[in-house]
Structure 1
Amino acid sequence: MPENETLTIKAAIDKLIAKSKSVALPPELTSRLDELFSQLEINSHSEETFWTFYQSTAKYIDWVVSLPWNTQSDDILDTRHTQEKLDENHYGLQDVKQRIIEYVSVLSLQKTRHPDIPFRAPIFLFVGLVGTGKTTMARSIADCLNRQLIRIPFGGLGDPLYLRGQSRLHSEAEPGALIRGLATCGTRNPVILLDEIDRVADDALNTIMGVLVELLDPEQNARFTDHYLDFPFDLSQAFFVATCNNTSRIAAAVLDRLEIIQMPSYTDEEKLNIGKSYLLPRAITEAGLNQGELTITESVWPNIIRPLGFDAGVRTLKRNIEGLCRKTAALILSGQKQIIIDESNVKKYLPQW
């Protein structure tokens, strides 16, 4: 092998070694990486095999050093702050809010009085119909605690390797959704949202429920092992939140690890307050409108809330309000100064089914 090729290969190996030492890794993992580097040294005698093995090793090192092995965000454990954030994002739902405030209170006392004892967060399962605020409540929990959010959608999920990753023996292997999410958020104590766990594909239901049993067990998730990473990662400081429309398709072993919180349907009165106080101001801002350019009279709110009859959530209401604001923006750009929506013209602004 020519001398310049030998130097190039040596420089490539040294680059990987330097990258692996740029972050503090668990000692056992460092030992494993040393073994990988030794294998690279052995393969360096054959250029054909070396660069193939080098590429897969470099990809692995990139994932390893990108993970937050020792990094976590500082929690905000102020119940007044928590109450303000929850009220800012959600109308009503007092029982749900109270449960979250209780958790923050316990965590605050634990960290103050027993800082050396690890605290196991409860695992919430928000159960409710479409549009009742399950996913947004998980986002609010992350906001309240000053934590990052990882959302993993389970709707139609048919392959457990999506969660657990694929062995590095496969050329196109990569980590599962959990490890990818941790690398992206950069902290080891995020809020992990397992969204719509009841909508897993039928043929993968049992295997995915098996993964959830391990993931949601406090005794096991401290050493969660992704097939690609092939090394335990501590998920015990993460706050898991799951959502579903109903619990009939969720395995009993999984339910046993969850604290079920019912998300009630909204009444028309609650939707009226949500529409006026939360959705409309937000939609006006997102549409680029100024205050006063759009006025909705009281008499047409029932049409906006119930265009087709009862709806448990607020998604239809949100879409209707956003549609009103978009149409208003178009009219403002065409030269009109103010739009007033009343009984005489409301049908022009609402979707026609």
Structure 2
Amino acid sequence: MEEINNKIVPLLPLRGLLVYPTMVLHLDVGREKSVQALEKAMVDDHLIFLTMQKDMDIDDPTEEDLYKIGTLTKVKQMLKLPNGTIRVLVEGLQRAEILEIIEEEEYFSANLHVFDEDTSKDIEDEALMRTMLEYFEQYIKISKKISNETLSTVSDMEEPGRMADIIASHLPIKLKEKQHILETIDNKKRMNYVIDIIHNEKEVLNLEKKIGQRVKKSMERTQKEYYLREQMKAIQKELGDKDGKSGEVSSLMEKIEACGMPEHVKETALKELDRYEKIPSTSAESSVIRNYIEWLIALPWSKATEDDLDVLKAEKILDEDHYGLEKVKERVLEYLAVQKLTNSLKGPILCLAGPPGVGKTSLARSISRSLNRHFVRVSLGGVRDESEIRGHRRTYVGAMPGRIIQGMKKAGTINPVFLLDEIDKMSNDFRGDPSAAMLEVLDPEQNHNFSDHYIEETYDLSKVMFVATANNLATIPAPLRDRMEIISIAGYTELEKNHIVKDHLLEKQIKDHGLTKGQLQIRDDAIQKIVRLYTREAGVRSLERQIASICRKSAKIIVTSDKKKIVVTSKNLEEFLGKPKFRFGQAEEIDQVGVATGLAYTTVGGDTLQIEVSLAPGKGKLVLTGKLGDVMRESAQAAFSYIRSKSEELGIDPKFHEKHDIHIHVPEGAVPKDGPSAGITMVTALVSALSGRTIKKEVGMTGEVTLRGRVLPIGGLKEKSLGAHRAGLTTIIAPKDNEKDLEDIPESVREELEFILVSHVDEVLKHALNGSVNS
């Protein structure tokens, strides 16, 4: 090779390319100054200096934009291409450093210092060459991008510097690193640097290989799954199942997205859906997961009806559906009014308590209609298993959500009127206490995150308006009763029953039996007689059955005869209903000795209770009959003891207990009776029997008595008063402490009854007994 010292030659800046000494390669030259530099080189001695630009984006570089060290090369060949570009073949000769750039008008020239190539080598150079060659060979095996011929060519090289340059030219390293190798003049430093680069590239290749293998496995698995799915689709298509499970999963996914469930529930649903997709359809767990997902989708999570907050319209609807029941209607209208003002009131929990047939269930339907809410009813009669309320865990075969969640699904909205019918009929056994589970449902502070064992996710019940019904509050556990607002429905008066028949029941039954108003007419006197002589109840259920019986018989007459219209009066009523079933009223026809009329409160409303006392010669034995409970027996003992202590004042022989056996009997012995409110009635009957004074037939009484003769308050005065009114009594003796309860009694009943409020038995006897001894 010709030795060249300092020399001025044309300069060609390179973009993204670098030439090492001894390298031969093609270049495409397009810039005007570069073309001029090439032509100048071809005119002179074919020598040209190639150096890299620091920034490839610069079209017209200056001295600062170029690396100082580059390669002096010889132009071997030059070819002009049709697009104006020149393709040139160059051979690298030696490293050179720019001492000065000379700017010509058409091109750059450079005054260069040319470095002599050190071709000598010692033992260290030999060791470095072998290491570098070994690393390069290992790299080629891993990379597989460099041919074995290249390795053979490199192996035959004797010069250390040249070997390092050739290996560096074949490595996929950054241009800055290649430039650094070009600028390293010392052979040992250059070989060490190349060895480090090869080692690093080997590590990178090994990592790439591992990553590639993982990706390949993943791709193979994905391709395998895709292939199997396609096969499955083909099989399902042949079997007639067009979409198969994938279509089902897509459908479920759309429903999950559309049903508006909270995020935490949605996550659970999607997780279960993913499990469902992976489990074979033949697996038992598949149907369990499918059912669970469908329950989550079917439940209302956000859908709600808009409350109709027109109070006057609601009042009109309630009046249309029910006659009377003013207290309940007032409570519903109050709720509506507050809701209209606040627009954010938790659902109240009402408990309609009263005897059967008074319209508790139908009233709940009317409430939902007046609020414009969906209505759902759940019967709790006979429920004795906690899981009936909270649901079964999904691990059990045939597991289902509890009745609350089932009811919400049926309602379809998050704010229905939810009727818990017969809440007092729940019982408990070894499977748990359902009334305890109801505590969470009916607590406004807890039911916003109600937990069902099947659903597992919390469900918001706070917007639900719960309405419970009960016949007997005594059987409802105290904690559960405490969570509800009790609204008592005592029953209907005769006047209210007459209105209900005329305004509601008659029209309904005529329509149900295919008749018209023109075909059947029931006169007012007949309705009055039906109420008095054919029914005895607080509600109107039996009354409706009697009306239905008249309608059936009328339908038969119309169908089997030429009669077009039937009029029912009090005179021909027996033709339709038979002989009267009850005697109107329970008041005695004459004043009697030893027979007192007490007032009782039963599950069917208020009723009258006859307490009879008879004396027989004996030694003071007290006999009680009529299936009396412990409390009633104790009341009789207390009455007996009081009379003994006050015998002289009462005009009774002080030694009566030594001469007579006393028998107290309460008729209807098959019916269990208990309660303290018969105390004053027993005292009155005993005093009457022992003194011979008659008891006023029109008087009914109720009140608990103490040994000192004090009269204590009782419950159910409203119901008892209605029963007394039905029985034809005109005077009621009641405890003075019950004066506050008189307001609850319908005005029409209060006007026809005289209430005598007493605080001591002496007052009772004064008003109940006639002054003269019965002869």
Structure showing the higher helix proportion among its residues: 1
Query: Which of 89, 103, 112 is the equivalent residue of 2:321?
Result: 89
* Counterpart selection for 2:448 from 217, 222, 246: 222
Task: Select between 286-295 and 304-313 the one with higher mean Cα deviation.
Answer: 304-313
Q: Give the match for residue 35 of structure 1.
A: 271
Match of 1:194 in 2: 420
| Pick aligned residue for 2:363 from 137, 154, 158 | 137
Q: Structure 1 residues 183, 343: CA separation in 2 closer, same or farther (over 3 Å shift)?
A: same
Task: Give CA-to-partner distance per residue, 1:7-45, whole Å, 9 cap, x none.
Answer: 44544444433332332221111211232233335435x
Which residue in the other structure is 1:279 paired with?
Answer: 505
**Ranges in structure 2 where 5+ consecutive residues have no aligned partner:** 1-224, 234-243, 582-775
CA deviations 1:62-110 (Å, max 9, x no partner) are 2111111110111111111111011101111222211211111111111
Asked if the contact 1:164/1:176 (under 8 Å) is kept, the reply is yes
CA distance in 2, matches of 1:205, 1:320: 42
CA–CA distance in structure 1, aligned partners of residues 474 and 424 of structure 2: 8
d(CA) in 2 for partners of 1:316, 1:214: 37
Q: Which has the higher strand share?
A: 2
Q: Is the 8 A contact 1:16 1:58 kept in 2?
A: no
Partner of 1:74 in structure 2? 306
Give the aligned partner of residue 105 of structure 1. 337
Structure 1 residue runs of 4+, over 6 Å off? none
Is residue 2:448 matched to residue 1:212?
Answer: no
Q: Please report the TM-score for the alignment, with normalisation by the length of structure 1.
A: 0.90
Aligned to 1:350: 577
Task: State the 1:315 CA deviation.
Answer: 0.5
Pairwise CA distance, 1:3:
5.4
Say which is worse superposed, 10-19 or 248-257, in terms of deviation: 10-19
Q: Does 227-236 or 2-11 show the bigger shift? A: 2-11
- 2:433 match: secondary structure: helix
The 1:226/1:202 distance shift into structure 2, 3 A limit, reads: closer
Asked if structure 1 preserves the Cα contact closer than 8 Å seen for 2:272 and 2:293, the reply is no
Q: Paired residue for 1:163? A: 389
- Counterpart Cα distance in 2 of 1:15 and 1:208: 37
Given that residues 160 and 204 in structure 1 are in contact (C-alpha distance below 8 angstroms), is that contact kept between their aligned partners in structure 2?
no
Whether 1:316 aligns to 2:542 is: yes
Query: Which amino acid in the other structure matches residue 160 of structure 1?
Result: E
Identity in percent:
36
Does 2:561 align with 1:338? no
Distance 1:204 1:265 in 2: 37
Within the candidate set 14, 18, 23, 2:254 is matched to 18
The CA RMSD over aligned residues, in Å, is 2.2
Residue 674 of structure 2 corresponds to none
The counterpart of 1:242, out of the listed 443, 450, 468, is 468
User: CA offset at residue 5 of structure 1?
Assistant: 6.0
Please point out which of 61, 79, 101 is paired with 2:293: 61
Cα displacement (A) at 1:303: 3.0
After superposition, give the CA deviation of every residue in 1:207-253 in whole Å (9 maximum; x if it has no partner). 11111110011121111122111111111000011111121111111
TM-score in terms of structure 2 length: 0.42
> Which amino acid in the other structure matches residue 348 of structure 1?
E
What per-residue deviation string (whole Å, max 9, x for no partner) do you get for residues 283-337 of structure 1? 1122221222112233322332134453111101111112211222222222320
**What CA distance in whole angstroms lies between the structure 2 residues aligned with 1:104 and 1:11?**
46
Letter in 1 for 2:295: W
Equivalent-residue separation in structure 2 for 1:98 and 1:15 (angstroms): 48
Partner of 2:410: 184
What is the count of residue pairs matched by the alignment? 343
Question: Offset at 1:274?
Answer: 0.8
SS in 2 for 1:170: coil
Matched letter for residue 262 of structure 2: P
Q: Structure 1 pair 177/315, CA: closer, same or farther in 2 (3 Å)?
A: same
Relative CO higher for 1 or 2, CA cutoff 8 Å, sep ≥ 6?
1
CA distance in structure 2 between the aligned counterparts of 1:137 and 1:9, rounded to whole angstroms: 47
Alignment match, 1:261: 487
Q: CA distance change for structure 1 residues 309 and 54 in 2, over 3 Å: closer, same or farther?
A: closer
Paired amino acid for 1:248: A
